[in-house]
Structure 1
Amino acid sequence: MIFKAHKAHMNNLSNMTKTRICVIGAGPCGMSMLYNYANMDAGSDVEIVCYEKQTTWGGLWNLTWRTGTDEYGEPCHAGMYKHLWSNGPKECLEYPYYTFEDHFGKAVPSFPPRPVLLDYLLGRMKKCKKDPTQYIKFSTAVRFVKYNESEDNFTVTSTNLVDDKTVTEKFTHVVVAVGIFNSPNIPTFPGIESFGGRILHAHNFRDAGEFKDQRLLLIGASYSAEDIALQCCKYGAKNVICTWRTKPMGFKWPEGIEERPLVQRFDSNSAYFKDGTSAEVDAVILCTGYLYTFPFMDENLRLKCTLSVYPEGLYKGSLWLGGGNNKLFYAGIQDQYYTFTMFDVQTLWICNYILGKYEKLEMTEMLKDSNAMVERRKGLKDCHDDIDFQSDFVAELCSLTDYDKRCVDARSLFHKWEHDKDENIKTYRDKCFASIFTSTMSPSHSSDWWNAFDDSIKTFVGK
């Protein structure tokens, strides 16, 4: 694709001798940024530094027992819980150049548990031409990012949490890849302060077994509510009520799970709903989503929006148009059907853009492109429209980067997956799909998901 030259492009690096790229976050998206950089010939005058607050990479796929704050008093970033299994087919997130068969040496079932997906993520990183860990500063929290207009660069302030030392560095480009599931949205309800049981956000949910024999109220009607309701029922909860604000999830729930309109108030352990009914509950889990918060970004650099498949103010879903002279990027912040492959092609586009592989458009043209995507997004009516929209988005990035276009064949798998969930929410994880890249059909797991309590790699892979 041919772009018109941007007037300031030739002077972008006039105040720095090197192109220095700051990546914030080493979860799946940040890992893809590092993977793509390590595998391309960027040249000796290009340097990349990644700041990761956790002690290791992998982002939300790492499990910790901690909730609230970590060992350094920092807010816990990840909200992973025990016994989580993928809620989408692995064939929809499989890397084209590193398949699950490449990793495990054979085909494996379509819906892996968390340890399997983390192992796969880490396995691909070991295939890099250069060791990506050399670029990462672990246990390091970014405190502030500011754009310096006079120098046309960024000042990044960070703290090494181990030795409690704060430093500042200059970068020509910044890539924000901290994910979208780290700042819980916590609403309130009349009388909730009188509730006598436990109240927690899904971000702090760690083990469904904790709620065995209890009556649960889940507030929310999206993926967290769906999965936590199933998990708690599977692990012995007495019953689960999911309460919705806009519309119910509408699945054919297994016995023990039901949906009611939004809870209106609490009186001790009694919850009162919009339809006039009430129920006694032992615990409340807020499955109320997350906020887009980037407190470490300066005001004019800060993305402010709500969850959607295409947030406003971004060119090609990545380049921030609100400040920073077209050198600030937000990666992996879309509402997601595609995940690993979308992060991969998105960060490949970012790498190419930074390295000058595209001529630059004028701001008016980039805004026009971005606004057209936002307008199309506003017309989406359901999950199937969302899938088609995101498939088209990924396909466009593939065409701009020469990424394997077959990854967009996941479109039909996503539609099938949604139908499977509508048909039977309890058994959809028992379905089998064929790899887009090897055509091998996945085998069935040794047990149906509802009765599978061992989520180890050894049991799932069958080694």
Structure 2
Amino acid sequence: MEPTTSRRNICVVGAGAAGLPSIRHALLYGFNVVCYEAQSELGGLWRFNPEDTEYSCVMRSTVINTSKEFTAYSDFPPLPEEPNFMHNSRMLNYLKAYADHFKLTDHIQFEHKALSISRADKYDASGQWDVRVQNMKSSEITTTRFDGVLHCTGHHALPYSPALFPGQETFPGRVMHAHDYKDWRGFENQTIVVVGVGNSGCDIAVELSRVAKQVHLVSRRGTWVYNRIYNYGRPVDCTRYTRLNAAIKEVVPHSIAAASVRKQLNFRFDHELYGLKPKHDVMGAHPTINDELPNRIANGSIRVRPQINRFNGTTVHFEDGSMTEGVDTVILSTGYTVSFPEIESGELIKVDNNQVDLFQYVFPMCLPHDSLGIIGLIQPFGSIIPIAEMQARLVLAAIAGEDKMPVKTEREAIMSRKAAEMSKRYVQSRRHTVQVDYLPYMDELASLIGCDVPAWYTHLPHDQTMARLTLTAPHTAYFYRLSGPHAWDGAREAIMGIEERISRAFNSNHLKATAQSATKISPGLFLVIAAILFVLLVVS
């Protein structure tokens, strides 16, 4: 056993998008931190690997589904000239720049794989953990004791495949999971069946539709398809995720809000006509984001099909009685299985059909100490990266003894309430066990950390600009560094520059922006909105 010092020692497992901010904030707390990364470089999911790998990996053509402002860490705004929706290579460059800027690689041991994470002797008193690690180059295995562990390996590594369809054993072609899909090469002039209309399935279907003979996209229950781009060409999240919209959502009945979104989505293309209309509510499933799918359906290169009924050699029969012959490849975009095999041999955190017993999807309920945190195990309406950063901040605040965590009985009540809300809202699926809404969830974590965003009206007496921006600007992670632990003195400037960076992405010559902006509200209109909201606040 390697000795530890009197200073808090923190272990971060994984140097991807969740692991990097975990290192960053551990350093801000003054902890000793070491990060074990099994691969030779940082980036995790965002580092494209053309070779087959057990680790999660994006496709060669993957572009982020959330805008750069909502994907950014709380103290590292993206470059203005970067596109609003970055290719995975640019996203990787952003992660590397973040690591370089804060000297995070000094704390990463590459090609070191965490084999096991176990409670140390006298854990009940100390809350400490023993982490057993293998050096992938030398095969040497060491065990080190830590005061806290942040597990940041994601949940897209273990592919889930459904039970075989009837007759599938007669199919002579290739059946593969989306996890193993890299790019279009090798699929030219094929007839392909893609099973699943989530983001990966639709991305694969769209890409292959350009080179394949025919792509059939199998949808069991349909999906609502969102654009990355909203009115006037603005990123959709930069328009939707504001405090003003959140306030409106609180007073508008759900049925009216859902009807409005449904109308907007169908205005773009009729989901029923295109074979994608689901039975569930427009907010009852994780959103599918794809800008090109309706065009590929319209030109016939993608045919939407219902669930597979059976195989008969190279013929695939569907549940509506239709069929397609001469199928070459079937790609299963059927999700992933949540698993923690290295944490006490998978016995500590029980997983039942992707259901996990974690408070705020972070802390195992079976433990008396909050010294182990699962980071990034969420499926958000919004960006996962700033949420993972907030989760890391919460775990580190707990280890430092500076959190505002509720007692166990209160945690159980909160989890029961959330489970009931999730069951009521979402269609039952393995996919909908860790769903969160970006703004409410970020606020919940902030209240536990002590970095609550100051209410917009508190700025009115001395800073009307910040009052307006707090209410109407895209509510990015920078707002959660205005106050609280390790407040960042550049947060206000970062918030002020959001619109500039959005506009500069379209125009590297920095000409005057002409795009419509949610934050460009006249002082008079802002005062009217502020007065109405203030009255509603007082009445409630």
Task: Specify if TM > 0.5.
Answer: yes
Q: Does residue 304 of structure 1 match 2:365?
A: no
* Residue type of the alignment partner of 2:50: W
Contact 1:199 1:283 (C-alpha < 8 Å) held by counterparts? yes
In the TM superposition, residue 29 of structure 1 has moved relative to its aligned partner by 0.4
Per the TM alignment, residue 247 of structure 1 is displaced from its structure 2 partner at its CA by: 3.0
Distance 1:360 1:222, change over 3 A: closer
Report the alpha carbon displacement of residue 291 of structure 1 after superposing the two structures with TM.
Answer: 0.3
Where do 1:221-300 residues align within 5 Å? 221-234=197-210, 236-248=211-223, 250=276, 252-254=294-296, 255=299, 256-280=301-325, 281-298=327-344, 299-300=346-347
Looking at structure 2, the residues matched to 371 and 365 of structure 1 have their Cα atoms a distance apart, in angstroms, of: 10
Structure 1 residues 388 and 286, CA, compared in 2 at 3 Å: closer, same or farther? closer
Question: Given the alignment, which residue of 72, 81, 87 partners 1:94?
Answer: 72
Is there any run of 5+ residues in structure 1 with no aligned partner, and where?
Answer: 1-14, 69-75, 413-433, 447-463
Aligned to 1:169: 144
| Displacement of 1:257 | 1.0
Deviation at 1:185, TM superposition (A): 0.5
Partner of 2:9: 20
Task: Give 2:398's match in structure 1, choosing from 313, 334, 353.
Answer: 353
**Aligned 8 A contact 1:147 1:324 in 2:** no
Q: Is 1:314 the counterpart of 2:375 in the alignment?
A: no
What is the SS of the residue equivalent to 1:442? Answer: helix
Moved more, 403-412 or 161-170: 403-412
Q: Which has the larger radius of gyration?
A: 2
Per-residue Cα deviation, 1:229-269 (whole angstroms, up to 9, x for no partner): 111124x2222111122335526352211211111222221
- Give 1:204 deviation, angstroms: 0.6
Q: 2:436 aligned with 1:392, yes or no?
A: no
How much has 1:296 moved relative to structure 2? Answer: 0.9
SS at 1:28's partner residue?
coil
1:323 paired with 2:308, answer no
Aligned pairs for 1:130-169 within 5 A: 131-148=103-120, 150-151=122-123, 152=126, 153-169=128-144
Equivalent position SS for 1:237 = coil
Contact 1:96 1:404 in 2 (8 A): no
The CA distance in 2 between the partners of 1:223 and 1:409, in whole Å, is: 27
Any idea what SS the aligned residue of 1:185 has?
coil
Q: Is the 8 A contact 1:312 1:371 kept in 2?
A: no
* Aligned counterparts of 1:63 and 1:56: Cα–Cα separation in 2: 11
- Structure 2 unaligned residues grouped into runs of 5+: 225-275, 277-292, 455-469, 477-493, 508-540
- Partners of 1:62 and 1:78 within 8 A in 2: no
Kept in 1: contact 2:175–2:331 (CA 8 A): yes
Alignment of 1:435-454 (within 5 A): 437-440=497-500, 441-442=502-503
Match of 1:52 in 2: 37
Query: 2:100 maps to which residue?
Result: 126
The answer as to whether partners of 2:349 and 2:364 remain within 8 angstroms in 1 is no
Matches for 1:181-200 after TM superposition, within 5 Å: 181-187=156-162, 188-200=164-176
Secondary structure of 2:193's partner? Answer: strand
Q: Describe the SS at the equivalent of 1:208.
A: coil
**Can you list the C-alpha shifts for 1:145-176, whole angstroms capped at 9, x where unaligned?**
22136344222222111111222222222211
Taking the aligned partners of 1:340 and 1:300, their CA distance within structure 2 comes to 28
CA contact (8 A) 1:142 1:159 kept: yes
Using the TM superposition, name which of 87-96 and 176-185 deviates more. Answer: 87-96
2:440 and 2:158 map into 1 onto residues whose CA distance is: 29
Q: Please report the TM-score for the alignment, with normalisation by the length of structure 1.
A: 0.76
Deviations 1:405-449 (A, max 9, x none): 86996579xxxxxxxxxxxxxxxxxxxxx9885212436769xxx
Aligned residue among 102, 112, 137 for 2:86? 112
> For the Cα contact (< 8 Å) 1:91–1:436, is it kept in 2?
no
Residue 197 of structure 1: CA displacement?
A: 2.1
Q: How many residues align?
A: 388
In structure 2, relative to structure 1, the CA distance for the partners of 1:204 and 1:436 (3 Å cut) is farther
Aligned-partner Cα distance in 1 for 2:205–2:437: 29
Q: Which residue of 1 aligns with 2:263?
A: none
| 1:208 to 2:197 alignment | no
- Pick one of 78, 81, 86 that aligns with 2:56: 78
Moved more, 325-334 or 365-374: 365-374
Q: Is the 8 A contact 2:178 2:331 kept in 1?
A: yes
Does the 8 Å CA contact 2:189/2:213 hold for their aligned counterparts? yes
**Residues 304/387 of structure 1: CA separation in 2 closer, same or farther (3 Å cut):** closer
Indicate the residue corresponding to 2:257 in structure 1.
Answer: none
Q: 1:444 to 1:232 in 2, by over 3 A?
A: farther
Cα displacement string for residues 307-333 of structure 1 (whole angstroms, at most 9, x for unaligned residues): 5xxx65222331221236332211100
- Post-superposition offset of 1:354: 1.1
Partner of 1:456: none
Kindly indicate whether the alpha-carbon contact (under 8 Å) linking 1:79 and 1:202 is maintained by their aligned counterparts in 2: no
Partner of 2:411: 366
**2-structure distance, mates of 1:183, 1:240:** 25
What's the CA shift for 1:90? 2.3
- C-alpha deviation, 1:87, in angstroms: 2.7
Q: Matched residues in 1 for 2:503 and 2:209: separation?
A: 27
2:437 counterpart SS class: helix
Deviations, residues 81-119 of structure 1 (Å, cap 9, x unaligned) = 212222332232133432223xxxx33332221111111
SS in 1 for 2:159: coil
